[in-house]
Amino acid sequence: MEQKANIKFCVKLGKTFSETYELMQKVYGDDCSARLNVYNWLKRFKTGREDLNDDDRPGRPEASNRAELVKKVREIIAVNGNFTVRMLAEELNSSTGTIWKILTDDLAKRKVCACFVPHHEDQKIARVEPCKDIISTAENDPDFFDSIITSDET
């Protein structure tokens, strides 16, 4: 904002682009705006623009209620962890980037093969009960492990 104000000041003084950019580099050094940005703002101020704020940008707005979206993703993943990011995005009418950020940042999950693996303490605790069931079944039935079929999914 400060640099834009200084560009506007140089325009009011009648400075050329080269003079303005040279002054900006002297004042701001490495923090100076890019040459093209200085040129674009100089051109805007020369055509009569007074506002220093950026123009509104077109595009998809950020989800208005991210907390609600996080809650929905958490519920879907709790029921079925085999949803892909694309499937979740279609289900919730959102972008894949937003869903990915929710899964990795908000829900602290990381991708392993085709499903997301829980990493929070409460999620790990929820996996203990089925493991205890398997152990008790194995202790009671000596042929239990013979009934397990393993294979490579790839």
**Reported pTM:** 0.38
CA-closest candidate to residue 6, choices 107, 19, 132, 74: 19
pLDDT tens readout for residues 36-53: 888 888 888 888 888 888
Domain extent for 90: 64-146
pLDDT tens readout for residues 125-148: 777 777 888 888 888 888 877 777
Are residues 77 and 126 both part of a single domain?
yes
Given a cut of 50, is residue 114 above it in pLDDT? no
> Does any domain span residue 18?
yes
Which is more confident, 150 or 145?
145
Question: How many domains does the structure of the chain reveal?
Answer: 2
Are residues 79 and 138 both part of a single domain?
yes
Burial 81-112 (b: 16+ CB within 10 A, else e): eebebeebbeebebeeebbeebbeeebebeee
